[in-house]
Amino acid sequence: MSETELLPESEPPTPPVPPPGQPVPPVRPFNDAVTVGFTLVLLFGVITTIVGSLEGTRYFESFRQPLAVTAQFFDRELEIAEVPPPTAAWAQPLKPLLISPMPEVHELVIRAFEQALEAHLRGTIGGPPEEVRLVEGRLALVLGEAGRSKPLEGRLHSLAAMGQEEARLARVIRYAYGFSDEPLSREQLEEVLPLLNDPARPKHTWATDRLEQRTLRRLGDQEGARNAEARILERGSRAFTHDLALYGTMMGVVLVGLLLGVLRLLLRRPLPRVASGFSPAPWTGSEGYAMAVRAVVFSQAGFFCIPDVSPASMLLGFLLGWVPMLYYLTQRVPKAYGVQPSGLFGLRLEAPVTSLLLVTLVLVSLEQAFAMGVGIAGRSLEMERWYEGMMEDLMRGSPAEVAGLVIMAVIGAPLFEELAFRGILYTSLRTRLGPWLSAVVSAALFTLLHVYSPIGMLMLFTGAVVSALVYERTRSLLPCIIAHAMNNLLVAGTSLLVYRGA
């Protein structure tokens, strides 16, 4: 789609002016020194984010219980990997996205466990000995499943050196995988299984059931071994069904949206304009930047005060960011330009609802298509990070914490970020730049405030560029807000339905 196709058929609305002879209400200008100070703070945050992105572990280090989250995540991944591949024709395209060959899964799990333990050893992440044992024990089990005898012996030696309980656990694992013929009883197995349990999770996990299954098979209890295996398959099947439903639905949305977009291109019918939002903004570029930088820095202050991805940090960040932004949009802008916030960014729908649904569907499909392509490339290059998008409180939090985080992710984040970046920042850039360059610059700043790996940041960047261009075409933030909420809902749904314990 060319740049001219993105522009509306008619000129953008112009801000109302006072009648002749009536003075323009005085508006106190932004303090340049304060704007410079906020800019320096923003630059510091951007540099910190870039460093964290290159290291690739900053998001992981923000977890309060990174070792426990690692154990919980890969318990589920290993259970899903045990499930037979789907046979339905419609599910076949999703197979490479949801199921990897078991050797690849083992390699990924071993690498992730080793990296987590090394980070704990360096002191970059914390965790009590009980959580270290969760990862050490699981690493030994996966090495045994992968048939890596020498690394397993070394890991069992390290596990036994941690203490008496860990030594008993190492002895059972050694017996389970045929490295020892020393007599072992069912009671000794029952004594060590709780050592692999996370108090915040159910009694049965992949680790406990796999150790029980291997040990009982050697002890000759075939029925007990089959029961343990059945529990693994039951949990894996349930999680895979949820995963398949989530991504199957999203894949259907992507296909329908792309089909509609292609048809409109072939018919030379660009996306419809659904509102009369401003682009460029009615204010100057410097004034818009002053508004945006204050809102963004205030919002990031919440995450510096509470440095983790939790409902509390998100709520504080949004409240701090909303205060200056709402003041500017509801007080300063109407006073200076006579335009209400709903008219600024096309929040009043002026087209049929079907037009809004069409635009939203095409936007979601483009964002997800780009994200899937980048994700597949990152996986093939081994640059994908398993923990990106995982929300600790959705996996392990209380019902109140889960509800708070879902509200923040699905309602708070889309509203604030779209108003700040696709609203104020993008339209301010449009006072001096064209649509494409404004979209790229605003998307770059949006991306650099998220601590993800390079692959994760590229996913965000492509989606942000598309959102800005869709706003330019439709003159409404409504499709951007709805698409943002749907994307966040998919991420939250994955954490809740697939990786959260029963």
Question: What confidence tens digit (pLDDT) does each residue in 367-392 have?
Answer: 998 888 887 777 777 667 778 777 88
Number of helices (H), then strands (E), belonging to the chain: the values are 24, 0
**Rounded CA separation 161/136 (Å):** 11
Any domain includes 210: yes
One-letter amino acid for residue 40 of the chain: L
Which helix (H) or strand (E) segment is 20 a member of?
none
Cα→Cα distances 413→34, 213, 279, 443, 487, Å: 26, 44, 22, 15, 11
Which of these, 211, 110, 221, 216, lies nearest to 168 by C-alpha position? 211
One-letter amino acid for residue 167 of the chain: A
Any domain includes 70: yes
* Same domain (yes/no): 44, 73: no
* Same domain (yes/no): 367, 401: yes
**Rounded CA separation 372/492 (Å):** 17
80: number of Cβ within 10 Å: 23
**Chain segment 272-289, per-residue pLDDT in tens:** 999 999 989 988 888 888
* Same domain (yes/no): 410, 450: yes
Any domain includes 296: yes
The residues of the chain scoring below 50 in pLDDT are 1-11, 15-26
Any domain includes 255: no
Any domain includes 5: no
* Same domain (yes/no): 74, 45: no
* Same domain (yes/no): 220, 74: yes
Crossing angle of helices 478-494 and 353-380, rounded to 10°: 50
* Same domain (yes/no): 493, 390: yes
Provide the 3-class DSSP secondary structure of residue 311.
Answer: helix
**Rounded CA separation 251/245 (Å):** 10
Contact between 339 and 84 (Cβ < 8 Å): no
Any domain includes 350: yes
* Same domain (yes/no): 47, 129: no
Contact between 237 and 320 (Cβ < 8 Å): no
**Rounded CA separation 169/158 (Å):** 12
Cα→Cα distances 106→28, 80, 212, Å: 62, 12, 19
Return all residues near 423 (Cβ < 8 A) that are at least 6 apart: 344, 345, 477
* Same domain (yes/no): 290, 149: no
Say how many domains are in the chain: 2
* Same domain (yes/no): 307, 444: yes
Return all residues near 85 (Cβ < 8 A) that are at least 6 apart: 95, 99
Cα→Cα distances 167→49, 101, 172, 183, 464, Å: 41, 32, 9, 16, 51
Provide the 3-class DSSP secondary structure of residue 275.
Answer: coil
* Same domain (yes/no): 56, 105: no
Cα→Cα distances 332→35, 303, 339, 344, Å: 16, 27, 10, 13
Contact between 417 and 295 (Cβ < 8 Å): no
DSSP state of 86: P
Q: Would you state the pLDDT for residue 20?
A: 46
Q: Would you state the pLDDT for residue 3?
A: 42
Provide the 3-class DSSP secondary structure of residue 360.
Answer: helix
* Same domain (yes/no): 72, 49: no
Q: Would you state the pLDDT for residue 502?
A: 53
Q: Would you state the pLDDT for residue 138?
A: 95
**Rounded CA separation 64/316 (Å):** 18
- Considering the entire predicted model, what is its pTM? 0.86
Looking up tokens 């019902």, which residue turns up?
399
Any domain includes 400: yes
Any domain includes 265: no
Q: Would you state the pLDDT for residue 357?
A: 94
Find the distance separating the first CA and the last CA of the chain, reported in whole Å.
47
* Same domain (yes/no): 327, 460: yes
* Residues of the domain holding 302: 30-61+270-499
CATH number at residue 154: 1.25.40
